[in-house]
């Protein structure tokens, strides 16, 4: 009787643990399955030269995504630092009684653009690109498809980071105009 209760508690705890883990990382299971499928399909390829290329490309795609998103994360931090300097200078102008309303609007727009870019970059960093191998005949198409998907995703993210950059530039220009207006 007592043994049965203990086993029931153990099984229940185990189930609760797995449900919590899968709730926290909803795509983890799918990702693991895709990785396993990739390895299985890769081992089925007869041509070892092609096998090596596909494995290399698969790893390179992951590396490109990591490298790009890391770089953009750092760049966005610098955007924030630059914007903070602009804000300090704007506050100084305001304390001198100068009209800084245009600068304030531009700074707010830039902060929104940076936040938007940060979210996009963070989501992109969490993406995984695994080549969906069907068979040896369509191998090139499968690899090209994965490459094209990552490439177009990264281009979209880059555009959003670039928009944030231009928003920061607008804030700098607004500050320069506010300075020049009172000189």
Q: How far is the CB of 94 from other proteins (least distance, A)?
A: 17
DSSP assignments along 79-110, one per residue:
HHHHHHHHHHHHHHHHHTT---HHHHHHHHHH
- Nearer to other proteins (CB atom), residue 82 or residue 94: 82
Site for other proteins in 122-161 (CB under 8 A): 139-140, 143-144, 147, 151, 154-155, 158, 161
Q: Is 90 in the site for other proteins (CB under 8 A)?
A: no
Say what the alpha-carbon torsion angle 66, 78, 107, 174 is, to the nearest 10 degrees. -120
Q: How far is the CB of 98 from other proteins (least distance, A)?
A: 16
Q: How far apart are CA 156 and CA 149, in angstroms?
A: 11
Measured from the Cβ of residue 114, the count of other Cβ atoms closer than 10 Å reads 21
Residues 6+ apart with CB under 8 A from 130: 31, 34, 35, 38, 58, 146
Choice from 42, 62, 75, 130 touching other proteins (CB under 8 A): 75
Q: Is 165 in the site for other proteins (CB under 8 A)?
A: yes
Angle, vertex CA 18, rays to CA 15 and CA 23, nearest 5: 125
Choice from 41, 86, 113, 120 touching other proteins (CB under 8 A): 86
Choice from 39, 42, 62, 64 touching other proteins (CB under 8 A): 64
Q: How far apart are CA 183 and CA 106, in angstroms?
A: 21
| Binding residues vs other proteins (CB under 8 A) | 49-50, 53-54, 56-57, 60-61, 64, 67-68, 71-72, 75, 78-79, 82, 85-86, 139-140, 143-144, 147, 151, 154-155, 158, 161-162, 165, 168-169, 172-173, 175-176
């Amino acid at each position: 009787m007592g043994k049965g209760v203990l086993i029931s508690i153990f099984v229940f705890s185990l189930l609760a643990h797995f449900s919590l883990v899968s709730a926290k990382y909803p795509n983890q299971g799918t990702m693991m399955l895709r990785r396993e499928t990739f390895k299985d399909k890769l081992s089925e390829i007869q041509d070892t030269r092609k096998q090596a290329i596909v494995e290399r490309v698969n790893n390179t795609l992951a590396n490109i995504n990591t490298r790009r998103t890391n770089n953009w994360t750092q760049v966005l931090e610098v955007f924030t630092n630059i914007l903070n300097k602009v804000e300090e200078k704007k506050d100084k102008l305001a304390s001198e009684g100068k009209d800084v309303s245009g600068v304030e609007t531009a700074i707010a727009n830039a902060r929104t653009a940076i936040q938007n870019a940060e979210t996009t970059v963070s989501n992109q960093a969490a993406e995984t690109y695994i080549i969906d191998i069907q068979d040896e005949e369509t191998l090139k198409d499968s690899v090209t498809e994965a490459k094209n998907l990552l490439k177009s995703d990264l281009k979209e993210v880059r555009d959003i980071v670039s928009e944030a950059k231009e928003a920061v530039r607008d804030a700098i220009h607004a500050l320069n105009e506010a300075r020049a207006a009172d000189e």
